[in-house]
Amino acid sequence: MNQNSKENIYSLNGFGKVYRFTFKQTIKNKGFLLAAIMMILMMAMMKPLMYLLSRSGDNAAQSMTVTLSTIEAEKLYILNETAFYMDKERAIPVEVGDISEKAVKRENVTIYNLGEESDENLIAGLTAKDILVIIRAEGNDYKMNGIISDNSEVSIRNLDRATSYVGERFRDERKLQLSLDDSDLQSLGAGISTEGTMTAKEYTEEKEYTLTSAEYNGLAMGFALIIMVVASLASSYIISSVNEEKTSKLAETLLVSVRPMALLLGKVLGMLTFVMGTIVCGVLMSYLADFIMTNVMNLDTSKLGQAGINLAIFTGYGVKGLVAFVAEILIALLAFGIFSGIMGSACSKTEDQQSAITVVTMITLIGYMGTMYFGMKSDFTMIGSLVPPISFFMSPAAYVAGRIGLGVFLGSCAIQIAIIIGLLVLGAKTYRNLLLSDSSKPKLQAIFAAAKY
Amino acid sequence: MGLVVKDLFKKYGEKIVVDHVSFEMPQPGVYALLGSNGAGKSTTIRMTLGMLERNGGEISWNGGPLNFDTCNIGYLAEERGLYPKYSLMDQIKYFGELRGVTGKTLTDRIASLAERLKVEEYLYPEKADEILSKAGVLDTSDEKKSTMALKKKHKPKTADQLSKGNQQKIQFLIALLSDPELIVLDEPFSGLDPVNTDILKEVVREQIARGKYIIMSSHQMEVVEEFCTDITILHRSKAVVSGNLNDIKKSYGRVNVLLKVEQDVSEEIKAVGAEIISEKEHEYRIRVTGDEQANQLLRRLIEKNIPVVKFDLSELSLHEIFVREVGDEAVESKQ
Q: Can you give the residue ranges of every domain in chain B?
A: 3-71+181-248, 88-164, 253-315
pLDDT in tens, A169-189: 998 888 888 888 777 777 776
The reply to whether domains B3-71+181-248 and B253-315 share a CATH topology is no
Q: Which of A62-71, A440-449, B123-132 has the lowest mean pLDDT?
A: A62-71
* Banded model confidence at residue A304, pLDDT cuts 50, 70, 90: low
The reply to whether CATH 3.30.70.1150 applies to domain B253-315 is: yes
pLDDT at A296 over 60: yes
What confidence score (pLDDT) does residue A312 get?
Answer: 74
Closest chain B CA to residue A19: B94
| Record: contact A244-B83, CB cut-off 8 A | yes
What confidence score (pLDDT) does residue B83 get?
Answer: 92
Closest chain B CA to residue A22: B94
Please spell the DSSP secondary structure of A112-133, one letter per residue: E-TTS--HHHHHHT--TTEEEE
| Record: contact B73-A256, CB cut-off 8 A | yes
pLDDT in tens, B34-71: 998 889 999 999 999 988 889 999 999 999 999 888 99
Q: Which range, A89-93, B49-53, B257-261, has the best average confidence (pLDDT)?
A: B257-261
pLDDT in tens, B207-238: 999 999 999 998 889 999 999 999 999 999 99
The mean per-residue pLDDT over the stretch A316-332 comes to: 91
Chain A contact set for B58 (CB, 8 A): 2-4
Distance from CA of A237 to the nearest CA of B (A): 16
Under an 8 Å CB criterion, which residues of A touch B?
A: 1-5, 7, 13-14, 17-18, 21, 24-25, 28-29, 244-245, 248-258, 432-433, 436, 453
| Record: contact A252-B53, CB cut-off 8 A | no
What confidence score (pLDDT) does residue A295 get?
Answer: 86
pLDDT in tens, A258-291: 999 999 999 999 999 999 999 999 989 988 888 8
* Banded model confidence at residue A316, pLDDT cuts 50, 70, 90: confident
Residue A292 per-residue DSSP state: I
Q: Going by C-beta distance under 8 Å and a sequence separation of 6 or more, which residues neighbour residue A317? A: A324, A325, A400
Answer positive or negative: Cα dihedral of A175, A180, A183, A188: negative
Angle in degrees, 0-180, between the axes of helices A213-247 and A352-376, rounded to the nearest 10: 170
Size of interface A-B (CB pairs under 8 A): 85
Q: What percent of chain B has pLDDT over 70?
A: 90
| Record: contact B52-A21, CB cut-off 8 A | no
pTM for this prediction: 0.76
* Banded model confidence at residue B132, pLDDT cuts 50, 70, 90: low
Residue A253 has its nearest CB partner, among B65, B77, B97, at B77
* Banded model confidence at residue A196, pLDDT cuts 50, 70, 90: low
pLDDT at A451 over 90: no
Contact B5, B24 (CB under 8 A): yes
Residue A253 has its nearest CB partner, among B46, B55, B95, at B95
* Banded model confidence at residue A55, pLDDT cuts 50, 70, 90: low
Chain A contact set for B171 (CB, 8 A): 253
pLDDT at A162 over 70: yes
| Record: contact A249-B81, CB cut-off 8 A | yes
pLDDT in tens, B149-165: 666 667 889 999 999 99
Chain A contact set for B49 (CB, 8 A): 256
Distance from CA of B244 to the nearest CA of A (A): 27
| Record: contact A257-B83, CB cut-off 8 A | no
Distance from CA of A436 to the nearest CA of B (A): 9
Map chain B to HEC letters: CCEEEEEEEEEECCEEEEEEEEEEECCCEEEEEEECCCCCHHHHHHHHCCCCCCCEEEEEECCEECCCCCCCEEEECCCCCCCCCCEHHHHHHHHHHHCCCCHHHHHHHHHHHHHHCCCHHHHCHHHHHHHHHHHCCCCHHHHHCCHHHHHHHCCCCEHHHCCHHHHHHHHHHHHHCCCCCEEEEECCCCCCCHHHHHHHHHHHHHHHHCCCEEEEECCCHHHHHHHCCEEEEEECCEEEEEEEHHHHHHHCCEEEEEEEECCCCHHHHHHCCCEEEEEECCEEEEECCCHHHHHHHHHHHHHCCCCEEEEEEEECCHHHHHHHHHCHHHHHHHC
The reply to whether CATH 3.30.70.360 applies to domain B3-71+181-248 is: no
pLDDT at A250 over 70: yes
